[in-house]
Every structure is written in structure tokens, then in C-alpha cells.
Amino acid sequence: MNTRLPAGDRRSMVEIGRRARAAAGRLAKADGDTKNQGLHGIADSLVEARPRILEANAQDLERAEQAGLSAALVDRLTLNRARLEAIASDVRGLSELTDPVGETYEAATLPNGLQLHKQRVPLGVLAVIYESRPNVTVDVAGLAIKTGNAAILRGGSEAVHSNGALVEAVHAGLAQVGLPFDALQFIDDPDRARLTELLHLHEYVDLVIPRGRNALHEFCRQHSTIPVVTGGIGICHLFVDESADLQAALRVICNAKTQRPTVCNALDTVLVHRAVAGSLLPALVDQLAPEGVTFRADPTAVSFLEQTAAGGGALPQAVRAAGPEDFDTEWLSLVLGLKVVESLEEAMAHIAEHGTHHSDGILTGEAAHARQFVAEVDSAVVYVNASTRFTDGGQFGLGAEVAVSTQRLHARGPMGLRELTTYKWVVTGSYHTRE
């Protein structure tokens, strides 16, 4: 039944789409136990195939160093025993989660006696376009199989050997439970024209999920005839209200900025109410500058910081005046924007103008202010008195995360297993006819 993908096979995109659709039909019928056994099979094969995977990864790393990739990129590309075990363990973890497929909800009996309900079913075929992290390959494979979806993966060329070895291990795991290899097809061709072809397979692919930089999301949105989940870009704000507990606010700001500055839910801009700017801003700089944070301050924040500077009138070294683009930049590093506002309304207006509808919060002691902020700020996740770093499927208790959506359709914010499903309506009658 399962025929192994020959090495160097270069199928047509339509053929890949057709195979994915056929595999999706089989996966949709697989019961939860089979899918969970498949996940354990994949984890086992990953552990078993470790020597081959690490060897393939070494080839990619060698090429990356020759090509002069940055240390950060090389790190993202690197697999080792511990990372591989973590990847395998995450796949096993998926088997513990509740399978959303088959859940029924919104059941109703209509006045004419017709019974109807919605029943959760897999989305069908996912296309995931990503860059150098090879862990995404297994991550997506696991999420897709758990939810009964087939996946077409298009990874970065930097990780081509690693991905090849990982996909082979996934296929070996699928084979153990008789699930089709075509549940996971991998495209290692870096050709953009071929990517565009993939993005036009709306007959066979139900959802495109780009994972990577803004340019990749934009490319997919421009060229895809398939719905695309865009997201991952977070210019995140915290507004410190005049009623906030300032000591606690400092802790939250520090966490949101420094706990992991390279990710999309890290803090980019602090908005401070004028009434507390004089005490908060100097303390903020004092506390965060030693952590390596540098600041881009608006004119009012600059003058507050100058007034309170130890030297009298000089800005602290870590602070400079914000440039015109600074409040529209997702820093992904230890830079933090600072701006003083006159009111909650001004803070919300700033977020509306400069935010990306990702994660924004208020730090406040006033329930009415919290309510107004929650009602009016239009972000995927709106926080009251918490760090923006919580925007994450795992942190939200979803068990897993396939992406963080900042668009409005289908799913918003962290997408877990349920967001990889759709539903069918089931209507049952006794030979009912419409009048």
C-alpha cells in the first residue's frame, strides 16, 4: 500500500496535491487510537534514526557555515541529541491530547422535527511553508496527523538534508500503523515558481500556513488562491495606567521584554500615563538597562528621563530619542520603545495606529479602565495585568500550537488542534420535505 518516496523524486505539484487529498480521505477515517499509535511510531523512529538524522544535520551545518550564515540562524538549524529527544517527546505529548475530530456541538431540534448538529472534521490538506528550523517539520507532521489532516511541507533549502532524514523517520512511523506516506509530503525545491504553483492548488489544499518572516507571509498572501493564515508579526504594547502597581508593572514589563526577546509576543512599546511617567520611566531604565535593554523614547519620555537623570539634564546612555519608524518596528531584540500618553484614550489610539493586532495589554488597578481597554483594543489577545509573553498555544492550555494568527477569519491568536478542524452539518429527519 505504502510506496516509499524515491530519493530525488520531483513530482508535479498537481500530483502532490492529488496524493495529499487522497491521504486526507484516509486520515479522516482513522480513529484516535490509530493516530496516537502513529505518533508514538514517529517518536520511536526519530529516536532510532538519530545517527542518520544528526549526520544529515551536520551536512546542513557545514554548508551553512561555508555560506556564512549568522550564528543565530546556525543555532536555529542545529539538531543534537537533546533537541531530537525533545522533538520526539513533543510528538508523544500530542497523543495525550483530546482528539477534536468527531466532537459534536450546537445540536438542535427544529420546530419541524429535523435534528441538526455540527460535527468536527479535519480541515483536509494543509500546506506549511517555513524556513530553516527543522523541528517545524516534525512538529507540523505530528499536529497534522493528530487532527487527521494531510500536510504538504515546503522547508528552507538550508535544512534540506536534515528535513529529508526527519521526513524519512516520520514515514517509517506512519508505516507502522498503516497510515499513508502521503499524509506528509515534503518539497525541498527552493524554486519560487514551484512555491507559487503550490499556492495555486486550491482544488487540493485547504489552508496555507506560512511560518517565518513577514516577507514570506506577504508572498503567500499575494500569490495564494488558497486561504492563508497570516500572523506571527507582533508589535506588542503594554500601557501603564495611572492606577497601576508600579513595582508589579516593572516586573511584568521586564518579563515581557527580556524573557525571550526574539519572538513575536515579546514587548515592543511601553505606553506610560503622564501621571506616573516621572516615577516609572527612570526605574524602568535603571532596572532594564543592566539586562542589555536599550530604549527609544518619544520627546515627552525623553524630557522626563532628562529631568530625573542623575547627571541632571543628560539622557541615560541606554536611551535615545525615537526615530520616525521606531514605533512601527517589531524589535525582536532588546530594544524597547517608550512613550508618554495623556490618557487611556491616547494609549488605545496609539495601539490602533501602530499595533499589529497581536498582543496588547493594560496594567491597571481600575476595573473600569481594564473593561474599556478590553472592549476597545482590537487585538487577537488583550491582556489585563499580565505579560504579553503568554500568547502561546501551550501557555493557553491548548496543548499545542500550529501558528499565531493575526488575521480575523477562522481563528485568531494561538491556533491549537481545534483550529486545524472544520465541521460538517448533520441533518437527520424522517423523510422531511420543505414547504
Please report, as residue ranges, which positions from 51 to 110 form the binding site for its own copies (by CB under 8 A).
108, 110
Q: Give min distance, CB of 301 to its own copies, in A.
A: 22
Segment lying near its own copies (by CB under 8 A), choices 10-18, 71-79, 176-184, 386-394: 386-394
By CB under 8 A, name the one of 4, 10, 29, 192 that touches its own copies: 29
By CB under 8 A, name the one of 17, 100, 124, 210 that touches its own copies: 124
- CB 406 within 8 Å of CB 358: yes
Residue 213 is a binding residue for its own copies (CB under 8 A): no
Sheet of strand 294-297, all strands in order from the earlier edge strand to the far edge: 319-321, 294-297, 335-341, 267-273, 236-240, 359-363
Residue 408 is a binding residue for its own copies (CB under 8 A): yes
By CB under 8 A, name the one of 188, 242, 245, 306 that touches its own copies: 245
The span from the CA of 301 to the CA of 285, in Å, is 11
Tell me the per-residue interface mask from 290 to 329 with its own copies, x by CB under 8 A, - otherwise.
----------------------------------------
Q: Give min distance, CB of 292 to its own copies, in A.
A: 18
By CB under 8 A, name the one of 73, 97, 175, 386 that touches its own copies: 386
The span from the CA of 166 to the CA of 140, in Å, is 12
Q: Give min distance, CB of 302 to its own copies, in A.
A: 27
Segment lying near its own copies (by CB under 8 A), choices 44-52, 70-78, 202-210, 283-291: 202-210
Of residues 158 and 360, the one with the C-beta less far from its own copies = 360
Question: What are the CA-CA distances from residue 316 to residues 59, 271, 285, 320, 333 (Å)?
Answer: 46, 19, 8, 8, 19
The span from the CA of 407 to the CA of 55, in Å, is 39
By CB under 8 A, name the one of 32, 93, 212, 227 that touches its own copies: 227
The span from the CA of 47 to the CA of 85, in Å, is 7
Question: What are the CA-CA distances from residue 48 to residues 45, 84, 91, 137, 160 (Å)?
Answer: 5, 11, 14, 17, 20
Of residues 45 and 224, the one with the C-beta less far from its own copies = 224
Tell me the per-residue interface mask from 144 to 183 with its own copies, x by CB under 8 A, - otherwise.
----------------------------------------
Could you say which DSSP state residue 98 is in?
Answer: P
By CB under 8 A, name the one of 25, 178, 292, 299 that touches its own copies: 25
Question: What are the CA-CA distances from residue 277 to residues 225, 237, 326, 347 (Å)?
Answer: 48, 16, 20, 13
3-state secondary structure of 355: coil
Footprint on residues 415-434 left by its own copies (CB under 8 A): 422-434
Number of residues that bind its own copies (CB under 8 A): 71
Q: Give min distance, CB of 241 to its own copies, in A.
A: 12
The span from the CA of 84 to the CA of 55, in Å, is 13
Residue 232 is a binding residue for its own copies (CB under 8 A): no
Footprint on residues 342-381 left by its own copies (CB under 8 A): 352, 361, 363, 370, 374-376, 378-381
Using the structure block, give the residue that is written with the C-alpha cell 525571550: 260
- CB 416 within 8 Å of CB 393: yes
List, in order, residues 6 or more apart from 255 with CB less than 8 Å away.
387, 389
Q: Give min distance, CB of 27 to its own copies, in A.
A: 12
